[in-house]
Amino acid sequence: MPPAYEGVENHLLALFYSGVYITNAEFVQVGKDLGIELPMKDRTALLKHIMRYAHENDLKPKMLQGFISLIRKRIESYETLAQNFPEAAGVAKEWIRKANATVLLLQREMRSSPYE
Protein backbone atom coordinates (compact mmCIF):
# COMPACT_ATOMS: atom_id res chain seq x y z
CA MET A 1 0.00 0.00 0.00
CA PRO A 2 1.17 3.54 -0.61
CA PRO A 3 2.77 5.22 2.41
CA ALA A 4 0.12 7.95 2.26
CA TYR A 5 -2.45 5.40 3.44
CA GLU A 6 -0.65 5.08 6.77
CA GLY A 7 -1.81 8.50 7.93
CA VAL A 8 -5.37 7.81 6.79
CA GLU A 9 -5.30 4.40 8.43
CA ASN A 10 -4.08 5.76 11.75
CA HIS A 11 -6.62 8.57 11.60
CA LEU A 12 -9.60 6.30 10.91
CA LEU A 13 -8.66 3.88 13.67
CA ALA A 14 -8.17 6.46 16.43
CA LEU A 15 -11.19 8.13 17.99
CA PHE A 16 -8.83 10.73 19.44
CA TYR A 17 -7.92 12.00 15.95
CA SER A 18 -11.06 11.34 13.93
CA GLY A 19 -13.77 12.05 16.49
CA VAL A 20 -15.53 8.93 15.23
CA TYR A 21 -15.26 5.32 16.36
CA ILE A 22 -15.77 3.11 13.32
CA THR A 23 -17.01 -0.31 14.37
CA ASN A 24 -15.99 -3.65 12.89
CA ALA A 25 -19.47 -3.94 11.35
CA GLU A 26 -19.07 -0.53 9.68
CA PHE A 27 -15.70 -1.56 8.21
CA VAL A 28 -17.34 -4.75 6.91
CA GLN A 29 -20.11 -2.63 5.32
CA VAL A 30 -17.60 -0.32 3.61
CA GLY A 31 -15.88 -3.43 2.24
CA LYS A 32 -19.21 -4.83 1.08
CA ASP A 33 -19.95 -1.56 -0.72
CA LEU A 34 -16.64 -2.04 -2.56
CA GLY A 35 -17.62 -5.58 -3.53
CA ILE A 36 -15.71 -7.64 -0.99
CA GLU A 37 -17.04 -9.90 1.71
CA LEU A 38 -15.07 -9.58 4.91
CA PRO A 39 -15.25 -11.77 7.99
CA MET A 40 -15.73 -10.01 11.31
CA LYS A 41 -12.10 -9.45 12.38
CA ASP A 42 -9.94 -6.94 14.16
CA ARG A 43 -10.64 -3.36 13.02
CA THR A 44 -7.03 -2.82 11.94
CA ALA A 45 -6.99 -5.98 9.84
CA LEU A 46 -10.30 -5.06 8.23
CA LEU A 47 -9.13 -1.57 7.33
CA LYS A 48 -5.84 -2.85 5.91
CA HIS A 49 -7.71 -5.38 3.79
CA ILE A 50 -10.13 -2.72 2.51
CA MET A 51 -7.29 -0.32 1.68
CA ARG A 52 -5.26 -2.99 -0.08
CA TYR A 53 -8.28 -4.09 -2.11
CA ALA A 54 -9.17 -0.49 -3.02
CA HIS A 55 -5.58 0.24 -4.07
CA GLU A 56 -5.25 -2.91 -6.18
CA ASN A 57 -8.61 -2.37 -7.89
CA ASP A 58 -8.47 1.40 -8.44
CA LEU A 59 -11.31 1.95 -5.97
CA LYS A 60 -9.60 4.51 -3.75
CA PRO A 61 -12.15 7.29 -4.43
CA LYS A 62 -15.08 4.95 -3.80
CA MET A 63 -13.49 3.67 -0.57
CA LEU A 64 -12.79 7.18 0.70
CA GLN A 65 -16.30 8.30 -0.25
CA GLY A 66 -17.67 5.38 1.76
CA PHE A 67 -15.81 6.57 4.84
CA ILE A 68 -16.83 10.18 4.21
CA SER A 69 -20.51 9.16 4.05
CA LEU A 70 -20.19 7.16 7.24
CA ILE A 71 -18.54 10.07 9.06
CA ARG A 72 -21.10 12.58 7.81
CA LYS A 73 -23.91 10.40 9.19
CA ARG A 74 -22.10 10.33 12.51
CA ILE A 75 -21.77 14.14 12.43
CA GLU A 76 -25.55 14.38 12.00
CA SER A 77 -25.98 12.16 15.07
CA TYR A 78 -23.58 14.33 17.06
CA GLU A 79 -25.46 17.47 16.02
CA THR A 80 -28.74 15.92 17.17
CA LEU A 81 -27.10 14.92 20.44
CA ALA A 82 -25.83 18.47 20.99
CA GLN A 83 -29.28 19.93 20.30
CA ASN A 84 -31.18 17.48 22.48
CA PHE A 85 -28.71 17.47 25.36
CA PRO A 86 -27.17 20.91 25.85
CA GLU A 87 -24.98 19.58 28.67
CA ALA A 88 -23.26 17.29 26.14
CA ALA A 89 -22.91 20.01 23.50
CA GLY A 90 -19.31 20.88 24.40
CA VAL A 91 -18.10 17.32 23.94
CA ALA A 92 -20.27 16.76 20.86
CA LYS A 93 -18.93 19.93 19.24
CA GLU A 94 -15.36 18.66 19.72
CA TRP A 95 -16.30 15.35 18.08
CA ILE A 96 -17.95 17.27 15.24
CA ARG A 97 -14.84 19.41 14.76
CA LYS A 98 -12.60 16.33 14.61
CA ALA A 99 -15.01 14.46 12.33
CA ASN A 100 -15.16 17.43 9.93
CA ALA A 101 -11.35 17.56 9.92
CA THR A 102 -11.33 13.86 9.06
CA VAL A 103 -13.71 14.46 6.15
CA LEU A 104 -11.37 17.17 4.86
CA LEU A 105 -8.40 14.80 5.19
CA LEU A 106 -10.22 12.12 3.20
CA GLN A 107 -11.28 14.62 0.55
CA ARG A 108 -7.66 15.80 0.21
CA GLU A 109 -6.58 12.18 -0.10
CA MET A 110 -9.14 11.67 -2.89
CA ARG A 111 -7.58 14.54 -4.85
CA SER A 112 -3.99 13.45 -4.29
CA SER A 113 -1.91 11.65 -6.88
CA PRO A 114 -1.53 7.90 -6.36
CA TYR A 115 2.16 8.32 -7.19
CA GLU A 116 3.01 10.71 -4.35
- Say whether pLDDT at 2 is over 70: no
The conformation of residue 112, written as its DSSP 8-state character, comes to S
Cα–Cα distances in angstroms (integers) from residue 103 to residues 26, 33, 39, 97, in the given order = 16, 19, 26, 10
Q: Which residue has the higher pLDDT, 110 or 71?
A: 71
| Residue range 10-64, pLDDT digits in tens | 889 999 999 999 999 999 999 999 999 999 889 999 999 999 999 999 999 999 9
Residue 67: pLDDT band (50, 70, 90) is very high
The pLDDT value given to residue 3:
59
